[in-house]
């Protein structure tokens, strides 16, 4: 079964959130609109709504990611859900229990939703295909495949700053080859109808058929690639996923592809600078750019909570409501 078939129920509503692939523009805009309704909760004295009171959400992170795990936990708690954080290093999976056994045992404890990050591409899809009715799976990043909630918080950030997606030229710079974030961003940007998506990187860090398979314009020259763009998204170099000497050195990467204040002048005067984090300062971008007036990197983190609140609430299955206390 394809990811899109798994993700939607018989009424075309979200059941799982595994990938941007196959989801239509209307659904992506509904996620963004729902996130908009949650954005002001942060400013309240009581930062909670009762939307998921009585529901149980388990965070299962087989890869470390403080930012993603924390924002998912905050999102669930602000929706009034009960949150279970599974410590993988001491869990039964480290003792030989299979992923499916972990799912079944937690389902037996009446867990309603699983937020999973895993190093294997397709792990979230596997869990979703075996989940019991009424149980939802949210992909918090799987291998080199997909990171759909990161893409949606990036889309929310872009819309908050720029408004209309249609006229935008967006450049994604860095390790396209290994980046699940880039793949999800590209799918979302094309689905939302931006004017142009550019990818900029050395030849060794871009898939050989990127133009055809991803629907992007490929640049190997940084200066040419960012010329007149409206949004620049810098990616973290995925050193832990790189096999072989794909780069001469981090220093040389910065010289050729690092975002500096000088290079930023080639882009549109009102260019927006983004990064999914964590930033390698002096490798992907200069500190002056990361902390400069065009940067919305900290806003991305803030918006991530609202976007994940939207996704958690939209994907929670009605059949789980019977367990509400």
Low-confidence winner among 8-22, 229-243, 306-320 (lowest mean pLDDT): 229-243
> DSSP assignment, residue 259?
B
- pLDDT value at residue 89: 56
173 token code pair: 């710079």
Per the CB < 8 A criterion, the answer to whether 303 and 37 are in contact is no
Place of tokens 């999914």: 276
- At CA 311, angle to CA 125 and CA 38, rounded to 5? 165
> What's the length of the chain?
325
Secondary structure of residue 20 in the 3-state scheme? coil
Spatial distance between the Cα atoms of 244 and 252, rounded to a whole number of angstroms: 16
Q: Does the domain spanning 3-146+304-323 belong to CATH 3.40.50.1370?
A: yes
- pLDDT value at residue 240: 52
Spatial distance between the Cα atoms of 213 and 302, rounded to a whole number of angstroms: 32
- pLDDT value at residue 142: 94
Spatial distance between the Cα atoms of 207 and 186, rounded to a whole number of angstroms: 13
Instruction: Name the CATH code of domain 148-301 (choices 3.30.1360.40, 3.40.50.1370, 3.40.640.10, 3.40.718.10).
Output: 3.40.50.1370
Q: What share of the chain in percent tops pLDDT 70?
A: 90
| Fold agreement between 3-146+304-323 and 148-301 | yes
- pLDDT value at residue 241: 45
Task: Show which residues are catalytic.
Answer: 67-68, 95, 117, 147
Give 13-64 pLDDT, tens digit per residue: 999 999 999 899 999 999 999 999 999 887 788 889 999 999 999 999 988 8
Q: How confident is the model at residue 249 (pLDDT cuts 50, 70, 90)?
A: confident
Q: How confident is the model at residue 2 (pLDDT cuts 50, 70, 90)?
A: low
Question: Which is more confidently placed, 18 or 95?
Answer: 18
> Where do the domains of the chain lie?
3-146+304-323, 148-301
- pLDDT value at residue 284: 94
């Amino acid at each position: 079964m394809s990811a899109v078939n798994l993700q939607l129920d018989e009424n075309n509503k979200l059941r799982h959130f595994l990938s941007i692939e196959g989801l239509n523009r209307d659904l992506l805009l509904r996620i963004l609109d729902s996130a908009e309704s949650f954005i002001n909760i942060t400013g309240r004295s009581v930062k909670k709504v009762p939307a998921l009171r009585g529901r149980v959400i388990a965070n299962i992170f087989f890869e470390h990611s403080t930012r993603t795990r924390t924002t998912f936990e905050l999102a669930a708690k602000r929706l009034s859900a009960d949150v279970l954080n599974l410590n993988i290093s001491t869990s039964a999976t480290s003792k030989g229990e299979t992923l499916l056994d972990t799912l079944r045992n937690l389902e037996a404890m009446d867990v309603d939703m699983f937020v999973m990050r895993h190093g294997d591409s397709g792990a979230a899809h596997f869990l979703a295909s075996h989940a019991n009715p009424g149980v939802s799976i949210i992909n918090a990043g799987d291998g080199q495949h997909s990171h759909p909630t990161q893409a949606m918080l990036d889309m929310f950030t872009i819309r908050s700053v720029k408004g209309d997606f249609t006229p935008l030229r967006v450049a994604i710079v860095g390790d396209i080859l290994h980046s699940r974030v880039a793949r999800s961003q590209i799918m979302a940007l094309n689905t939302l109808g931006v004017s142009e998506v550019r990818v900029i990187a050395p030849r060794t860090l871009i898939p050989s058929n990127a133009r055809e398979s991803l629907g992007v314009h490929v640049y190997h020259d940084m200066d040419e690639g960012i010329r007149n763009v409206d949004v620049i998204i810098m990616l973290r170099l995925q050193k832990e996923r790189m096999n072989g000497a794909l780069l001469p050195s981090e220093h040389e990467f910065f010289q050729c592809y690092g975002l500096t204040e000088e290079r930023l002048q080639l882009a549109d005067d009102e260019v927006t600078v983004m990064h999914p984090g964590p930033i390698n300062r002096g490798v992907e971008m200069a500190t002056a750019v990361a902390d400069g007036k065009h940067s919305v990197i900290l806003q991305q983190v803030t918006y991530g909570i609202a976007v994940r609140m939207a996704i958690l609430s939209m994907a929670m299955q009605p059949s789980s409501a019977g367990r509400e206390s």
